[in-house]
Amino acid sequence: MGLHRVREPAGVLPQAAWRLDPGPEIAPNEVRIRVERLNLDAASFRQLWEKHGGDGDAVRAEVCEIISTRGKMQNPVTGSGGMLIGTVEEVGRRSPLGFKPGERVATLVSLTLTPLVVTDGLARWDGRSEQVPCDGWAILFARSIAAVLPEDLDPQLSLAVLDVCGAPALTARVVSRYVAERRDARPVAVAVVGGAGKSGSLSLAAARRAGAGRTVGVVPVAGERDALVAAGLADEVVLADARDPVALSTAVTSALGVPADVTVVCVDVPGCEHGAVLATADGGTVIFFSMATSFAAAALGAEGLAADVTMLVGNGYVPGHAELALGLLRGEPGVRALFEARLAAD
């Protein structure tokens, strides 16, 4: 768990720590990675971008400052991090991860708990995108999850998929349960808020494969609508502002004909909790994947609406999540098209 890397406060786990020790000497159960790229969490990058009014140099300076101060990349405002890719440099003799030096890997644990040192001042990054070219090192613990990058896929494409691979896996698990327990002919209806994004498009594909009979993707702008329609991943695609509860629930209910059995929130803006609850049927489930989710807003919102809805904190870890997400990328041309267009635009 990396407790010995926690500098302050004492006794917490690395993710909760204010500061980690990112020293390069590894313990017997650790692995050191030579880092080549960070992928910042979308909510974190957006917060930094807005704070600095789109000044890339200021964004870069703050990211450098965070990493050197904290020994990890964890945005102090959003609490979120991201992930990285790099090459295995040294493997402790008792590491259970099974890596060999020279293998190219992506971390699937958050940067918020990954000891990290940057040695190039992020000089090759313009501060204007979540993808951060980088030189430095990072440490993996015994239970850290990481994946060897597939050789048949562009590493940036793999990284983008692996970054959000918990979402389709948990969506598939929840939707499967509704499908298995449905006792009449009604299709299981699924809404994905932010359906054209990375986690959203994968979740739509996963929901359909898990047996969802009717799906809707909700997007904020016409460009995303057109892209998601072209991708063919949802039965319906609708435009709505997810922060407007009445607009969101009306859009979902109109598109599906009923409220959703499962609503998946994949947009990285605050204030989507109430709309998601309102869009969901009694007995339904909302899965919150956005790090911008407010626990209190969700809990009190559902209570205030007298909504008998199960609300899940989107856990980024589900066994088999990396394989499932990479399989969707390989098998669903619509998913691949959205990811490739997004990388090209970055």
**Residues interacting with a copy of itself, by CB under 8 A?**
1, 3, 11-16, 78-81, 108-110, 112-113, 143-145, 166, 243-247, 271, 274, 288, 291, 293-319
The torsion angles phi and psi of 311, rounded to 5 degrees, stand at -120, 120
> Least distance from C-beta 46 to a copy of itself, angstroms?
14
Nearer CB in complex with a copy of itself: 198/336: 198
> Least distance from C-beta 318 to a copy of itself, angstroms?
6
Nearer CB in complex with a copy of itself: 114/235: 114
Q: Please state, in angstroms and as integers, the Cα–Cα distance from residue 34 to each residue in 7, 79, 84, following that order.
A: 22, 24, 10
Q: How far apart are CA 336 and CA 339, in angstroms?
A: 5
Which residues lie closer than 8 Å to 211 by C-beta, 6 or more apart? Answer: 175, 176, 179, 188
Nearer CB in complex with a copy of itself: 72/208: 72
Q: How far apart are CA 112 and CA 71, in angstroms?
A: 10
> Least distance from C-beta 45 to a copy of itself, angstroms?
15
Considering only CA atoms, which of 72, 71, 107 is closest in space to residue 86? 107
Q: How far apart are CA 219 and CA 292, in angstroms?
A: 17
Instruction: Dihedral sign for Cα 98, 169, 202, 167, please.
Output: negative
Nearer CB in complex with a copy of itself: 221/246: 246
> Least distance from C-beta 249 to a copy of itself, angstroms?
10
Nearer CB in complex with a copy of itself: 225/274: 274
> Least distance from C-beta 182 to a copy of itself, angstroms?
17
